[in-house]
Amino acid sequence: MSDLIERALLTATDTRTVIAGPDAIAAVAESFRATFGDRPALVVGDERTMSVAGDAVMEALASGGVRVVDPYVFPGEPELYAKYENCELLRDALRDVDAVPVAVGAGTLNDVVKRAAGELERPYLVVATAASMDGYTAFGSSIAVGGYKQTLDCPAPAGCVADWTVLAAAPAVMTASGYGDLLGKVPAGADWMIADAVGVEPLDDNVWQLVQGPLRASLSRPEAVAAGELAAIGELAEGLVMSGLAMQAHASSRPASGAEHQFAHLWEMEGHGTDVTPRRLSHGFKVAVGSVAMAALYERLLLRDLARLDVDAAVAAYPDAAALEARVRAVHQPHLVDEIVAQSLAKHLTPEQLRQRLELVAALWGELRPRLQAQLIPAADLQRMLRAAGTPAHPYDIGLGWQQFRDTYRRAQMIRKRYTALDLLLEADLLDELVDELFAPGGFWAAQRG
């Protein structure tokens, strides 16, 4: 375990042990006993993950003196989906078995086990099988309930094992997904800076360092990540684990998620990529494209001098609550719209509140703009890094139509109450204008339409 992870565990609320490195599965029994004492273990996997690592985990647990009960194995086909019905199936199967679940898998399986264990108020351990996302050590599960993808409350794992050899052998598409998810922390950090500056959500310096401290190093070798080099995979995995531990420490996904995730969540809620075979379009791939989209928008924003913003005009243009609700209902699917209305109204401002916020932004812009510039990476550079890692970097790469992608800038702002650059631009009456600039001749996306 690295010094970074060891320090992060000091502020984690749920995770007590992390074993990360080559051949970490050999130490899984040690981790289990240190975390759960002499309780028995129940391995949960699917047919793929059991052959990749689950059988080895069961053997290592048994050899290390841990009593192992019969595993719970989801079918390999169709691909397991993180829907609430699967959480219920597993919860009901675990209810009468006195054992600690050991999730062996990647994002979806971890989310399903996390939620099922959480509903039973039972701790669990996760053994990662791919460096595919940052949710291994995060609280909460990303679960589809009635078609609406949302984060359901539940504790993070009490223990985590990340065997770099297993992660490096994972399908390249999964590693590429993890790279995309981690790269999203770059624009997410800028969004947190803005939320802090306007007084919506204060920035926690200690938590910030957990994510942003190792971030550049974890992203620095995309070609080596694509090649499956063990050290590069380890660096990527460390960044992902640190991100999850930071979310624990902050009791929020804010340290790791901003508007780039709102792009991804919107596409997920609308079912984009669920019919792709043989593997669903991953969360990290959508985050990657959302990250490029937000980086390009930030470039337009940073060309503006918000210190000279026409506050009166922006206040006059801001929609009242009824107009806002009407806008939301006009552009979102019926099964999603009521929840999206609630999220949008939760961050709606009165004219007086809006004026105060915009005047604050104008006063702080001279200081805030250079900090944002230092945090961000140009959109073209992000595309180069993503492509080197084998990760999508353009809406066409994930099968998005051009108008659908363009509309996402406006619609993604509505789906979460979390404050991001999209909200600042809406409040400043600049969102439509800057999006139009991106797609106009000479704009970032105009040259890439093809």
Tell me whether the omega of the peptide bond preceding residue 78 falls within 30 degrees of 0, making it cis.
Answer: yes
Strands 159-163 and 125-128: parallel
Task: Report pLDDT for 177.
Answer: 97
pLDDT computed for residue 275 by the predictor: 57
Q: Can you give the pLDDT at residue 1?
A: 56
Could you give the CA distance from residue 136 to residue 15 in angstroms, rounded to a whole number?
A: 10
- The model's pLDDT over 191-234, given as tens digits with 9 standing for 90+, comes to 999 999 999 999 999 999 999 999 999 999 999 999 999 999 99
**What amino acid occupies position 432?**
D
pLDDT, position 277: 42
Dihedral sign, CA of 179, 402, 108, 148? positive
Tell the residue number behind the tokens 């996306």, with chain if given.
445
Report whether 364 contacts 197 (CB < 8 A): yes
Question: What does the pLDDT read at residue 449?
Answer: 87
Beta-bridged to residue 162, according to DSSP, are 20, 128
- Note whether 284 and 391 are within 8 A (CB): yes
CA distance 2 to 18: 10
8 A C-beta contact, residue 385 and residue 183: yes
Rounded to the nearest angstrom, the gap between the alpha carbon of residue 426 and the centroid of all alpha carbons in its chain is 23
pLDDT for the residue 274: 62
Report DSSP letters for 274-343, one per residue: TT-SSSPPPHHHHHHHHHHHHHHHHHHHHTS-GGG--HHHHHHHS--HHHHHHHHHHHS-HHHHHHHHHH
CA–CA gap between residue 5 and residue 28 (Å, rounded)? 17
pTM: 0.93
Stretches where the chain sits below pLDDT 50 are 277-278
